[in-house]
Structure 1
Amino acid sequence: MNIIVLIKQVPDMEKVKFDSERGVVDRKSAGTEINPFDLNALEAAVQISEKIDSTVTAVSMGPPSAKEALKECIARGANRGVLVSDVKFGGSDTKATSTILSSAIKKIGDYDLIIAGEKTVDGDTGQVGPEVAEFLNIPHGSYISKIQDADGNEIKVCSEIWEGTYLKSIKLPALITVTKDINVPRLPSFKNKMKARKAEIEIIKFEDLVDESLDAGKVGFNGSPTKVKKIEVPPIAKREGKIYRENVSQAIEEIVNIFKEKKVVD
């Protein structure tokens, strides 16, 4: 089985700053890491490869620095890493990103299963995985919390939607997006870290992807229909309180009225 895992290098969201004038994340203001949900996707792929003969390919769209994220993927069990990188891709929204990634997957060639995290911590939309599947015209399942079985023909998964758990059987080739409940990503061993340091990361550029379905007007900022006009950071809500030191009866009366207003008591 050939498995592709979609990986994104994201900024450390606890330290990153926002450029409110441009309406974008200032990615240079903090360090980077692999999107946590994508680590779950990678672990799911590696676990499948341990049960049936599989090749795991980590694919990331990003700047040249994303090579390090792909090397970490190899250290965590992937067989190869492919970086989709070009200045023309800068400013891509979810649709443009999905268009580029789907074209890159076609360029890579034969695949049976694509696994992605349910969302990224810097965008939080959950759109790229399903959109890639739609561009590839393959079935997809979202919010997968468990993989029950997988072979060369189909994959059986549990999908968490609202308050229900659904058992789904999906014919391959297909794409799934996984939640953090699916597994606990393993840490790379020293041996695999050394192996990853020597790994060659394949590069796919814009000119490698040009076909009848992709042109310069469909990628980057110009190919992105989503435009952020304004970012507002809401003020931190503070708890309100009152202190009654002498008039206890007044305090009790006000508390009772508040409970009635909030319908805590009738």
Structure 2
Amino acid sequence: MKIIVCMKQVPDTNDIKIDPKTGTMIRDGVPSIINPDDRNGLEEALALKDKLGGSVTVISMGPPQAEIALKEALAMGADEAILLSDRVFSGADSWATSLTLALAVKKIENYDLIICGRQAIDGDTAQVGPELAEHLDLPQVSYVRKVVSVDADKIVVERALEDGYEVIECQMPAILTAVKELNIPRYPSMGGIVEAFRNKSITVWNNEAIGGIPQELGLKGSPTKVKRSFTPSLKGAGKMLEGTPKEVVKVLVQELKEKQAI
């Protein structure tokens, strides 16, 4: 079974700051991590490989520093890592990103399954996976919380809903987007880390390698325009109520009445 995992290196959002003058994210000195939902997607791919055999190829689009995240993926057990890096790709929104990934997937060929994270924590759009499916004309299941079974040409999964889940059978090749409930990602082993950094290399593809049209990629090919980014202003400190449940409820009701909330 050949599985492709789409992964993104993102800033650790606990440390993100916004420049008050420019309204842009301050990235200098901010540590980067593998996007959490993508890590769940990678873990599921590795688990399927462990169970069914095959290979896992990880693709990421980004600057050269994204190689660090790909090395971590190799240390976890991925067989191959591909970095899509070119100035042509910079400034891409979800549409241009998914198109770039689609061109890379078409170059790889002969795959059974593509797994993406539900969404990236630096954008929260949850659009790249579904858009990738549209570019490739593949069936898709989003918000996958469990892989029930995999046969030669179909996969059965549970798709998370707000009030439960639904069981979906899907023909392969297909695209899944993973949520954190899908699994608990493994840690790279010491042997895996040594193997990844000493013996495994990362393949780098630029725009020429995937045959993209520059006007359709990166900032030029992005229909989304960000007007402003800002840090929400604080609305005031919270107030902790102490005591027994009955005492707390009594004080809470009184506070709400004074504020004319009830």
Q: TM-score, normalised by structure 1?
A: 0.88
Q: In structure 2, list runs of 5 or more residues that go unmatched.
A: 240-249
Q: Displacement of 1:132 after TM fit?
A: 0.5
Counterpart of 2:188 in structure 1 is 188
Letter of the structure 2 residue corresponding to residue 139 of structure 1? P
Q: Contact 1:129–1:176 at 8 Å: present in 2 too?
A: yes
Task: Give the Cα–Cα distance (whole angstroms) in 1 for the partners of residues 106 and 20 of structure 2.
Answer: 36
Cα gap change, 1:259 to 1:227, in 2 (>3 Å): same
Task: Give the Cα–Cα distance (whole angstroms) in 2 for the partners of residues 217 and 256 of structure 1.
Answer: 58
Moved more, 171-180 or 10-19: 10-19
Task: Give the Cα–Cα distance (whole angstroms) in 1 for the partners of residues 196 and 96 of structure 2.
Answer: 30
Q: Displacement of 1:151 after TM fit?
A: 2.7
Q: How does 1:148-159 map to 2 (within 5 A)?
A: 148-159=148-159
What whole-Å deviation, never above 9, does each CA across 1:3-62 have from its counterpart, x for those lacking one? Answer: 000110011111122245555433334011111111100000011011112210011001
Counterpart of 2:201 in structure 1 is 200
1:223 equivalent in alignment to 2:239:
no
Q: Displacement of 1:152 after TM fit?
A: 2.8
Task: Give the Cα–Cα distance (whole angstroms) in 1 for the partners of residues 150 and 258 of structure 2.
Answer: 54
Counterpart of 1:92 in structure 2 is 92
Letter of the structure 2 residue corresponding to residue 208 of structure 1? A
Task: Give the Cα–Cα distance (whole angstroms) in 1 for the partners of residues 256 and 56 of structure 2.
Answer: 62
Task: Give the Cα–Cα distance (whole angstroms) in 2 for the partners of residues 90 and 71 of structure 1.
Answer: 22
Q: In structure 1, list runs of 5 or more residues that go unmatched.
A: 242-250
State the secondary structure of the residue aligned to 1:14.
Answer: helix
Counterpart of 2:243 in structure 1 is none
Task: Give the Cα–Cα distance (whole angstroms) in 1 for the partners of residues 23 and 9 of structure 2.
Answer: 20
Q: Contact 1:112–1:152 at 8 Å: present in 2 too?
A: no
State the secondary structure of the residue aligned to 2:28.
Answer: helix
Q: Displacement of 1:261 after TM fit?
A: 4.8
Q: How does 1:226-237 map to 2 (within 5 A)?
A: 226-237=224-235
Counterpart of 1:258 in structure 2 is 257
Q: How does 1:129-144 map to 2 (within 5 A)?
A: 129-144=129-144
> Could you list the runs of 4 or more consecutive aligned residues of structure 1 that deviate by over 3 angstroms after TM superposition?
19-24, 259-263
Task: Give the Cα–Cα distance (whole angstroms) in 1 for the partners of residues 138 and 170 of structure 2.
Answer: 10
Task: Give the Cα–Cα distance (whole angstroms) in 2 for the partners of residues 104 and 21 of structure 1.
Answer: 37
Counterpart of 1:68 in structure 2 is 68
Moved more, 5-14 or 15-24: 15-24
Letter of the structure 1 residue corresponding to residue 172 of structure 2? L
Letter of the structure 1 residue corresponding to residue 114 of structure 2? I
Task: Give the Cα–Cα distance (whole angstroms) in 2 for the partners of residues 25 and 110 of structure 1.
Answer: 39
Counterpart of 1:247 in structure 2 is none
Q: Contact 1:7–1:116 at 8 Å: present in 2 too?
A: yes
Counterpart of 1:122 in structure 2 is 122
Q: Contact 2:18–2:230 at 8 Å: present in 1 too?
A: no
Letter of the structure 1 residue corresponding to residue 204 of structure 2? I
State the secondary structure of the residue aligned to 1:124.
Answer: coil
Task: Give the Cα–Cα distance (whole angstroms) in 2 for the partners of residues 225 and 54 of structure 1.
Answer: 38
State the secondary structure of the residue aligned to 2:102.
Answer: helix
State the secondary structure of the residue aligned to 1:28.
Answer: coil
What whole-Å deviation, never above 9, does each CA across 1:217-255 have from its counterpart, x for those lacking one? Answer: 1111111111111123221222477xxxxxxxxx99x92
Cα gap change, 1:163 to 1:257, in 2 (>3 Å): closer
State the secondary structure of the residue aligned to 1:57.
Answer: strand
Task: Give the Cα–Cα distance (whole angstroms) in 2 for the partners of residues 257 and 59 of structure 1.
Answer: 52
Counterpart of 2:244 in structure 1 is none
Task: Give the Cα–Cα distance (whole angstroms) in 2 for the partners of residues 172 and 137 of structure 1.
Answer: 12
Task: Give the Cα–Cα distance (whole angstroms) in 1 for the partners of residues 183 and 83 of structure 2.
Answer: 25
Q: TM-score, normalised by structure 2?
A: 0.89
Task: Give the Cα–Cα distance (whole angstroms) in 2 for the partners of residues 90 and 63 of structure 1.
Answer: 8
Q: Contact 1:75–1:189 at 8 Å: present in 2 too?
A: yes
Q: Contact 2:18–2:231 at 8 Å: present in 1 too?
A: no
What whole-Å deviation, never above 9, does each CA across 1:114-140 have from its counterpart, x for those lacking one? Answer: 001101111111000110011000000
Q: Displacement of 1:108 after TM fit?
A: 1.4
Task: Give the Cα–Cα distance (whole angstroms) in 1 for the partners of residues 149 and 191 of structure 2.
Answer: 29
Cα gap change, 1:222 to 1:19, in 2 (>3 Å): farther
How many residues get paired?
A: 250
Q: Displacement of 1:98 after TM fit?
A: 0.4
Q: Contact 2:60–2:70 at 8 Å: present in 1 too?
A: yes
State the secondary structure of the residue aligned to 2:13.
Answer: coil
